[in-house]
A and B are shown apart, each in its own frame.
Chain A
Amino acid sequence: DIQMTQSPSSLSASVGDRVTITCQASQDITDYLNWYQQKPGEAPNLLIYDASHLEIGVPSRFRGSGSGTNFNLIISSLQPEDVATYYCQQSDHLPFTFGPGTKVDIK
């Protein structure tokens, strides 16, 4: 299985801050990398697919970048409603494994 790592595991930032979450794959996954947001008590929600494509309805402050083994999720201006855990997922090789998650809260 492809192993996914994320850093940091948690972060606290102020409203309006730029936030970057990093995801690394154990082998080349080209651009088959997705990002999900999961708020407490809710199902996950797809934010970004294929590394950089914004899912319909997702605010433009979310941006994805990267290819190969290294990827980033950037929140350009953190909002209170962005408090959540963020997961990356590779979808290049079965099984389509998730990263361990990054918990984001407001300072």
Chain B
Amino acid sequence: EVQLVQSGAEVKKPGESLKISCRGSSYSLDTSWIAWVRQMPGKGLEWMGIIYLGDSDTRYSPSFQGQVTISADKSITTAYLHWSNLKASDTAMYYCARGRDGFGRALDIWGQGTMVTVSS
């Protein structure tokens, strides 16, 4: 059974950097698309971007382009979400999810989520 396991909750200060991870349990994920989805407290789902683990081809939502960096290490079937300058407004739950088909259109396997809290 394929699973996505995310790194643990983080508490950071504004201006700090952070990288969270999403590790796949199966080597077959190296030909998968992995998406990142934000959910701010009490709010809905926001699609941030997607990366193909095979060659790190990455697409961003314009709302998140330049605000975060999505990367991957195919050798360990892991995707990352990185901030270089955190803001209080980055406080949210972040989910990674696997695309079930060729371009990650529908997301069929989700990680458990990583809660990021940014507060001075």
In the complex with contacts A1-B62, A43-B95, A98-B106 CB distance below 8 A: no
Could you tell me the dominant secondary structure of chain A's interface residues? Answer: loop
Contact A49 B63 (CB under 8 A): no
Residue from the list A1, A44, A50 in contact with B45, Cβ < 8 A: A44
Q: Which residues of chain B are near A99, meaning CB under 8 Å?
A: 44
- A98 near B105 with CB under 8 A, answer no
B47 touches which of A43, A45, A49, A89 (Cβ 8 Å): A89
- Residues of B within 8 Å of A100, CB to CB, are 44
- Which positions in A face B, CB cutoff 8 Å? 1, 32, 34, 36, 38, 43-46, 49-50, 55, 85, 87, 89, 91, 94-101
Q: Are B100 and A36 in contact (CB under 8 A)?
A: no
User: What is the interface residue range for chain B against chain A?
Assistant: 20 to 34
In the complex, A32→B100 CA distance in Å?
A: 13
Q: Mark B34-59, 1 if CB is under 8 A from A, else 0.
A: 01010000001111011000000001
Instruction: Write 20 A-B pairs (CB below 8 A) sorted by A numbering.
Output: A1-B62, A32-B105, A34-B105, A34-B106, A43-B95, A43-B97, A44-B45, A44-B110, A46-B106, A87-B44, A89-B47, A89-B106, A89-B107, A94-B61, A95-B63, A96-B35, A96-B47, A96-B105, A98-B44, A98-B47
**Assembled-state Cα–Cα distance A34/B103 (Å):** 14
The minimal Cβ–Cβ distance linking B98 to chain A, given in whole angstroms, is: 10
Task: Tell me the minimal C-beta distance from A56 to chain B in angstroms.
Answer: 9
